């Protein structure tokens, strides 16, 4: 059974180890923290913490370091989020101001987050599966080439050039636009592909028959773009920080680098993390072993988007500054939510 003072000793060990990178001994705890007891008493508290597998000795006769279980107890019950400084908040606001589009906003989000934390920053794109298509535009680039533009109410924009099997003029383009718009505008992304699949071939020799091959070709292109909208996407920044922090990992960082490259594992992990009542989530060390990432910790915060909620966070070694990283993720998530809400209101 861990006493209240024992919990405070654990807090001191976590904080000092994160700050100094060195195992923490009883003497340094007495010197750095006002417990008002002797080093021998602190050693007894540390022995109880070690019995509970909350701390461990990396070497014989060394100080102690937190275990993954110790970090978990610290995050759940002892960590107090530190408010960001005025300079940090100003940096977020300045860095994210006036993005050109959603892709630019997401790229800026991870760049500012990795600058604030010194960790690998991760951000899920808003889900467009439940978004509605608000506009489709066709722009003739040549008699047999058309630029297709799709826009959703969740901020998703797709542009793609489509070759056509027949040549078309401006009047034909208007007809194609009207036909496709009637099929999918106002429809959910998840439903629009089914609508396109229902295209019926017109009667041979009718005016619509000449344009039907072009309509089918454009329908195929649009369906492929809608499939992209429905896929989960992740944007990242700061992968180089892993190399600089390699000494903080107990084993190889190669699984982390592979996960960054492939994204699928990180998307699954980010989606399955359980948030608390404040929309914050942590997954620490061995808790990530099923994903092959037992050497890493991830902290994340939910943000609100028109298509639902998504997450933004950071990944790094288990020896990370959890309170500061959670505070940074929360602050960036809140600002991102506000920007997306204002963007939707302005449409």
What is 4-78's CATH topology? Arc Repressor Mutant, subunit A (1.10.10)
Using the predicted structure, report yes or no on whether residue 131 has a pLDDT greater than 60: yes
Q: What is the pLDDT of residue 161?
A: 93
What lies within 8 Å, CB to CB, of 88 at 6+ separation is 116, 328, 331
- pTM for the predicted model, two decimal places: 0.78
Residue 97's alpha-carbon distances to 26, 91, 93, 236, in angstroms, are: 48, 10, 6, 19
Backbone conformation region of residue 292, classed left if phi is above 0, alpha if psi is from -120 to 50, else beta: left
Q: What is the pLDDT of residue 297?
A: 95
Cα 242 to Cα 285: distance, rounded to the nearest angstrom: 15
pLDDT tens, position by position, 209-250? 888 889 989 988 998 888 877 777 899 999 888 888 878 887
Assigned CATH for 133-230: 3.30.390.60
Q: What is the pLDDT of residue 138?
A: 94
Assigned CATH for 86-127+232-345: 3.30.450.40
Using the predicted structure, report yes or no on whether residue 64 has a pLDDT greater than 90: yes
Q: Where in the chain is the domain with CATH 3.30.450.40?
A: 86-127+232-345
Backbone CA torsion sign across 89, 95, 99, 104: negative
Q: Strand, coil or helix: what is 141? A: strand
pLDDT tens, position by position, 247-284? 888 778 888 888 888 888 999 999 899 999 889 999 99
pLDDT tens, position by position, 79-90? 888 888 999 999
Q: What is the pLDDT of residue 204?
A: 67
Q: Where in the chain is the domain with CATH 1.10.10.10?
A: 4-78
Instruction: Find where tokens 């003072």 sit.
Output: 5
pLDDT tens, position by position, 149-189? 998 877 778 899 999 999 999 999 999 999 999 989 998 88
Using the predicted structure, report yes or no on whether residue 62 has a pLDDT greater than 80: no
Two tokens at 184?
């999918």
Q: Where in the chain is the domain with CATH 3.30.390.60?
A: 133-230
């Amino acid at each position: 059974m861990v006493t209240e003072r024992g919990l405070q000793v654990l807090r001191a060990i976590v904080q000092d180890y994160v700050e100094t990178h060195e195992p923490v001994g009883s003497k340094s705890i007495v010197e750095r923290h006002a417990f008002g007891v002797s080093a021998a008493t602190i050693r007894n508290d540390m022995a109880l913490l070690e019995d509970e597998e909350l701390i461990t000795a990396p070497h014989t006769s060394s100080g102690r370091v937190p275990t993954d279980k110790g970090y978990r107890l610290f995050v759940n019950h002892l960590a107090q989020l530190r408010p960001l400084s005025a300079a940090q908040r100003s940096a977020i606001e300045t860095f994210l101001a006036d993005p050109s589009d959603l892709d630019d906003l997401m790229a800026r989000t991870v760049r500012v987050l990795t600058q604030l934390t010194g960790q690998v920053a991760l951000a899920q794109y808003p889900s467009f599966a439940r978004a509605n298509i608000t506009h489709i535009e066709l722009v003739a680039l040549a008699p047999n080439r058309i630029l297709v533009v799709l826009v959703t109410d969740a901020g998703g924009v797709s542009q793609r050039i489509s070759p056509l099997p027949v040549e078309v003029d401006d009047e034909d383009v208007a007809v194609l636009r009207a036909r496709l718009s009637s099929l999918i505008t106002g429809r959910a992304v998840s439903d629009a592909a089914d609508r396109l699949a229902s295209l019926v071939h017109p009667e041979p020799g009718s005016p619509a028959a000449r344009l039907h091959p072009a309509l089918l070709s454009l329908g195929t292109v649009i369906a492929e773009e809608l499939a992209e909208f429905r896929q989960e996407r992740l944007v990242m920044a700061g992968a180089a920080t892993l190399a600089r922090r390699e000494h903080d990992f107990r084993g190889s960082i190669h699984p982390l680098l592979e996960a960054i490259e492939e994204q699928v594992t990180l998307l699954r992990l980010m989606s399955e993390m359980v948030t608390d009542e404040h929309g914050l989530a942590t997954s620490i060390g061995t808790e990530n072993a099923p994903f092959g990432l037992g050497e890493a910790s991830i902290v994340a915060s939910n943000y609100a988007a028109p298509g639902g909620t998504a997450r933004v966070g950071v990944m790094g070694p288990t020896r990370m500054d959890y309170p500061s990283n959670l505070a940074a993720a929360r602050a960036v998530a809140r600002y991102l939510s506000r920007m997306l809400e204002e963007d939707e209101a302005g449409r």
